[in-house]
């Protein structure tokens, strides 16, 4: 665990984080700043849509974020925030875990939540990835993963007649 374990309050993460990523806990500040970083990226086109904010809140709840962390998102001044100021607090109980690829993946999902991935948002995801040290060619992988996840969801809806399909 990065940081001083004896002085850092840890919040257990849900199965959403434990199963695929091997994460079991993070400090509340990590949840908070993870969400704020996503708001900075998704808000690059000037605003965070209701669908984008709803996607963030849903994702954070499924990760196990406490409500005290989720509440401030709606009032967060994403236009004045600096991405790099938020990143140091985004950490977990796994030393080898890196926030950058997760933020890129979640930002792509969040930016597409309103059905439109604005060019400014796509450019901000790429800029954010560069700032966090994720090479541009690697950013293509989370884009492809999000496309595959969306396609799998569409297929599931058709196969099982979900959502009136």
42-71 pLDDT tens trace: 887 788 989 999 999 999 999 999 999 999
What CA dihedral angle connects 34, 38, 41 and 44, to 10 degrees? -130
Q: Which long-range contacts (CB under 8 A, 24 or more apart) does 12-20 make?
A: 12/64, 13/63, 13/64, 13/92, 14/62, 14/63, 14/64, 16/62, 16/63, 16/64, 17/63, 17/64
Model confidence at 2, pLDDT cuts 50, 70, 90, reads: very low
pLDDT at 154 over 60: yes
Whole-number Å distance between alpha carbons of 19 and 5: 23
Domains and CATH numbers, the chain: 11-164 (1.10.3680.10)
Residues 21-35 pLDDT 10s: 888 999 999 999 999
Q: What is the mean pLDDT of residues 95-114?
A: 87
- The model carries a pTM of 0.81
Question: If you average pLDDT over residues 134-162, what whole number do you get?
Answer: 86
**Is residue 153 scored above 80 in pLDDT?**
yes
């Amino acid at each position: 665990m990065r940081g001083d374990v004896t002085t850092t309050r840890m919040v257990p993460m849900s199965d959403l984080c434990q199963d695929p990523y091997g994460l079991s806990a993070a400090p509340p500040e990590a949840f908070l700043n993870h969400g704020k970083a996503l708001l900075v990226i998704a808000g690059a086109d000037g605003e965070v849509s209701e669908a984008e904010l709803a996607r963030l809140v849903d994702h954070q709840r499924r990760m196990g974020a406490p409500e005290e962390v989720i509440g401030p998102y709606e009032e967060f001044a994403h236009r004045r925030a600096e991405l790099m100021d938020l990143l140091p607090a985004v950490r977990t109980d796994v030393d080898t875990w890196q926030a950058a690829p997760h933020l890129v993946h979640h930002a792509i999902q969040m930016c597409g939540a309103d059905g439109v991935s604005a060019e400014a948002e796509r450019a901000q995801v790429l800029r954010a990835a560069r700032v966090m040290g994720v090479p541009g060619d690697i950013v293509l992988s989370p884009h492809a993963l999000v496309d595959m996840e969306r396609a799998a969801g569409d297929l599931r809806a058709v196969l099982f007649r979900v959502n009136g399909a």
